[in-house]
């Protein structure tokens, strides 16, 4: 089968390849994701449970669900999804991320199907999933609408798409670039391109144009006093997340 047109931006892939070995170091270059992960998981698990009528008190509430973690990196989200019972495919365009994720999953006793591939190629191959996780990826692709359309094609009817990204405004520039990259040095300089950030209304329009129906959005808000993240119904000024469905 002929490979689909790719929205991968080679420059963006190279950035994350250079950091691949540090995915599971909570004090390394991916420290911001380790800090954010509990908040992300809270949102993701709540949305999946609501959409598929699952009880999070069960030992494996997501059993029977096939889930794609696109842009999986080292597996920070793939692993907890597998522990909750989902059949997980983790996909990443950066080839060096895959062996890191595979080794860590094996050490953790988890069976996760990690692949060096793209959303477009998975869609062209006819892959189908109940849930597609698309976390902190859309701001790094060359063509967001084409990419989100591929994510929509990967969903079964009634499937759930969860997408997080960064708002575009002066505050997000100050926090996500100046603060995270230059002041705190949580990320290498140049990790983010402010011009590629997407406002919540722009993302909703993109999702609708990709034939997805947005059903929820919330902000991820960092508290410098407690040094932790929380979900917010109102504050989407920097990091935020959306849920949409394929009717």
Binding-site entries: 40, 71, 92, 135
The secondary structure element, H or E, covering residue 33 is helix 31-52
- The full set of domains in the chain, from first to last, is 10-246 (3.40.50.150)
Residue 140 is classified by DSSP as G
pLDDT per residue as tens digits for the range 16-28: 666 556 889 888 7
CA 80 to chain centre: 13
pLDDT per residue as tens digits for the range 192-212: 788 899 999 999 999 999 999
pTM above the 0.85 mark? yes
Q: What is the mean pLDDT of each run of 10 residues along the chain (247 residues)?
A: 62 65 82 90 98 98 98 96 98 92 93 97 98 96 97 98 96 82 69 88 98 98 90 97 97
Binding-site entries for S-adenosyl-L-methionine: 40, 71, 92, 135
Tokens, residue 147: 């990419």
């Amino acid at each position: 089968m002929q490979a689909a047109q790719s929205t991968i931006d080679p420059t963006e892939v190279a950035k994350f390849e250079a950091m691949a070995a540090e995915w599971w170091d909570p004090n390394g270059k991916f420290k911001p994701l380790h800090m954010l992960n509990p908040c992300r998981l809270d949102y993701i698990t709540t949305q999946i449970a609501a959409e598929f009528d699952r009880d999070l008190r069960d030992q494996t509430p997501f059993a029977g669900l096939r889930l794609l973690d696109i842009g999986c990196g080292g597996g920070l989200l793939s692993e907890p999804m597998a522990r909750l019972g989902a059949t997980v495919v983790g996909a990443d365009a950066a080839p060096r991320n895959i062996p890191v994720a595979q080794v860590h999953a094996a050490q953790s006793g988890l069976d996760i199907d990690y692949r060096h591939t793209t959303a477009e190629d998975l869609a062209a191959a006819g892959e189908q999933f109940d849930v597609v996780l698309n976390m902190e990826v859309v701001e790094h692709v060359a063509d967001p609408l084409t990419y989100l359309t591929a994510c929509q094609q990967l969903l079964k009817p009634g499937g759930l798409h969860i997408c997080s990204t960064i708002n575009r405004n002066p505050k997000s520039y100050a926090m996500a670039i100046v603060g995270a990259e230059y002041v705190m040095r949580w990320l290498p300089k140049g990790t983010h391109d402010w011009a590629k950030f997407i406002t919540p209304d722009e993302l909703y329009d993109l999702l609708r144009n990709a034939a997805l129906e947005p059903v929820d959005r919330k902000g991820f808000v960092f508290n410098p006093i407690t040094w932790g993240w929380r979900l917010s119904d109102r504050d989407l000024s920097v990091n935020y997340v959306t849920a949409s469905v394929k009717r």
